[in-house]
Structure 1
């Protein structure tokens, strides 16, 4: 999953994390055989801790995250202890 942020919305240093939840176990973990529980998440790619200058010429940054799990993981992005709204253009 790739996330774009406008650089003007980053405050000096923003530590952004990608969280992939293993929803099957959280919902159905009890009373299910070990074989049927699935696996994961196994992170294959995570964002690198980087400082992006506010005066960047492109005006945006790209952060990548990729995880494997069964069932498919649900991704959430967090910045400065808050959830990032991926539906917003801002």
Structure 2
């Protein structure tokens, strides 16, 4: 009677908390490479591949391959956190750049959604082509002191919560020309002093 020969292959995927990460991942043994899989958020993957061989003349009794994929903080689920909040900006109207940037940098997982408020009202990016949000920061093209001056706030939201930045004031620096007008005649006696008033033109900054 012939001897029945059978080789069994078992693959297993284990998950361990991020706090259980080893300092260095163990090296895989010789043989086919382990099955690589994308780690889920907040977890580390341990991929184990085991081949059981029976009877003994089929080969090695047990061949185990172990790979531990370490997971960085980017995979940890958490609410939004400010890396950099917006600061006050003084923008000169005669600037050649014609662009204002209010910086806001946020991290979070899932990636937070960023929106901005001006004087407590949402900035509608879709309705005004001058506004755009680039990597969280607010860009204002061709800024106008009548429409754009005020207090700005950055709001970041994901499924874990919402955070609101400190207020950042956007001011415009300008100096208008003197108003052209004729002054009235002032008569004085010889040797007497006099005062000619001169008020500054409208300005800011």
- TM-score by structure 2 length? 0.24
> Which protein has the bigger helix share?
1
Which structure is larger by alpha-carbon Rg, 1 or 2? Answer: 2
Q: TM-score, normalised by structure 1?
A: 0.48
